Structure 1
Amino acid sequence: MKKIFGFCLLLLLNHVNAQDTSAANELQQKAQRWVAGLKIDDKAKAEKVQQAIVAHLTAVRDWHNSHPFTQVPAGLNPATGNRLSDLDRQLIVCSSKPSTIHTSLMDVLNAGLNKEQVAFILDQYTIGKVAFTLKGYEAIVPDLTEKERAEIRKNLEQAREQAIDYKSMKEISAIFEIYKTKCEQYLNNNGRNWRQLFKNYVDKVKAEKEKKKDGAL
């Protein structure tokens, strides 16, 4: 019986180690792809950036995996009056990670890369959400001014940098939602009616779909 138990334990440990190795290799490959996209001629600089990204991705993953949402009580969200969702609770516990996880990465990126290259790396983390979301605002508000566009971009870029410290795309999207709300409040506070603008956009999209549908018949 002891031999069987020992054999089973060995199999389990081997399986866990294999999973850990696979996960580590996946993060290494992801960082390598991102840095390759920068086309850095200096190999030492590229390696330093790559290892900083790997260390950051690993720290974010490990914190997320070792801090389930259940560590945050299922209480009330004081801002809305609604009960905290599981995603709210996960965001809270993941936002409590040491700030050095973030600053250690950003210090390396800002020291070794230019502004456009740093933005490229942050866009890899967040699958290009800044450009995608800004394009949405431009579609909903066709006469968006340069001042409004700059304010919206500033908010979205803040969302992007904050969002890199979260593991899942649901969490990243939730961070962007916080800043999208700020964008919409900004528009409302400066003479726009976001609710009406959004309704007009939805109505326009529906009308275009109906027109295409009628044309196909």
Structure 2
Amino acid sequence: MKKKNRITLIIMLLLITSITINAQTGKTEQDETTKAKEWIGSLSLNDRAKEERLSQVVATHLIAVKEWHNSHPASTVPAGINPLDGKPLSELHRQIIADSAMPSKVHDDLMSGLRKDLNEQQVALVLDKYTVGKVAFTMKGYQAIVPEMTATETAEIQKLLEKAREQAVDYKSMKEISAIFEIYKTQAEQYLNNNGRNWRQMYADYTKKIKAEKEAAKKTKTP
């Protein structure tokens, strides 16, 4: 009798677990589908069939990224060192490594699905939704820091930031997305250094200027 009760309890626990997992999966799909529809709706395509196709493409990608992220925590990557600097891998580094192992087909399906119905400018607008407009925000920062930034410099840095944006859409958290952008920001700063600029000095000058402006503003407000 005790054995029978134990088996019944195990079955009940399995059923409860299954129901919980299914409920969580259903919520994930609903959340990501809603987000996808909002993003595609913001394009004002005025074409219901096209909007439905695109929403499905984006939702499928969002769900795949989230499910991969949730099933591949940082703990699945052994602790070790970063071969570039010899420092221990951080929790964020390990999570990025885990997420970067997601099959490339997930990304390829997103990009081909978007480009099937959208032009490159519209594709960029969708990718901006994923990355909360970090391309424009970061470019604005460079334009403020680099004196008389040339058209060639602007084009090169824009290209790097757009690469960062496309790569970053396959990562779940904003910390990861920001870390991906840091990779390309480092490349942008190296590019400036290699072409007659001194990034460290420009950044120091900009910081000094901002600090002086804040101090001046304080003095103006003081009675």
> Which bin holds the TM-score, normalised by the shorter protein?
over 0.9
Give identity over the alignment, percent.
54
Deviation at 1:47, TM superposition (A): 1.0
Structure 1 match to 2:98: 93
Aligned AA (1:72)? V
Q: 1:47 aligns with which of 44, 52, 57?
A: 52
1:158-204 residue CA offsets vs partner (Å, 9 max, x unmatched): 00000000011111100000000000000000000000000011111
One-letter amino acid of the counterpart of residue 201, structure 1:
Y
Separation (CA, whole Å) in 2 of partners of 1:208 and 1:215: 11
Q: Which amino acid aligns with 2:126?
A: I
Question: d(CA) in 2 for partners of 1:139 and 1:89?
Answer: 33
The C-alpha deviation readout for 1:1-26, integer Å capped at 9, x for no partner, is 66777666655544433322222111
What CA distance in whole angstroms lies between the structure 1 residues aligned with 2:161 and 2:153? 12
2:37 maps to 32
Residue 77 of structure 1 aligns with which residue? 82
Task: Give the corresponding residue for 1:126.
Answer: 131
Question: Partners in 2 of 1:14 and 1:101 — Cα distance?
Answer: 27
The answer to whether the Cα contact below 8 Å between 2:28 and 2:63 also exists between their aligned partners in 1 is no
What CA distance in whole angstroms lies between the structure 1 residues aligned with 2:11 and 2:81? Answer: 47
Q: Which runs of 5+ in 2 are unaligned?
A: none
Is the aligned partner of 1:206 residue 2:192? no
Partner SS state of residue 156, structure 1: helix
Instruction: Give, as a single letter, the amino acid of the residue that structure 2 aligns with 1:96.
Output: A
Return the alpha-carbon distance in structure 2 between the equivalents of residues 18 and 211 of structure 1.
Answer: 56
Aligned length: 217
Aligned to 1:62: 67
* Cα distance in 1 between the residues matched to 2:51 and 2:58: 11
Please, what TM-score do these two structures have when normalized by structure 1? 0.94
Deviation at 1:118, TM superposition (A): 0.2
Q: Which residue of 2 aligns with 1:191?
A: 196
Question: One-letter code of the match for 2:156?
Answer: E
Letter in 2 for 1:89: R
How large is the RMSD of aligned CA atoms in angstroms?
1.6
Task: Name the residue aligned to 1:135.
Answer: 140
Q: Residue 178 of structure 2 aligns to a residue in which SS? A: helix
Query: Residues of 1 paired with 2:196 and 2:86: CA distance?
Result: 28
How far apart, CA to CA, are the structure 2 residues paired with 1:102 and 1:211?
Answer: 49
Amino acid of the residue matched to residue 92 of structure 1?
Answer: I
Q: Higher Cα Rg: structure 1 or 2? A: 2
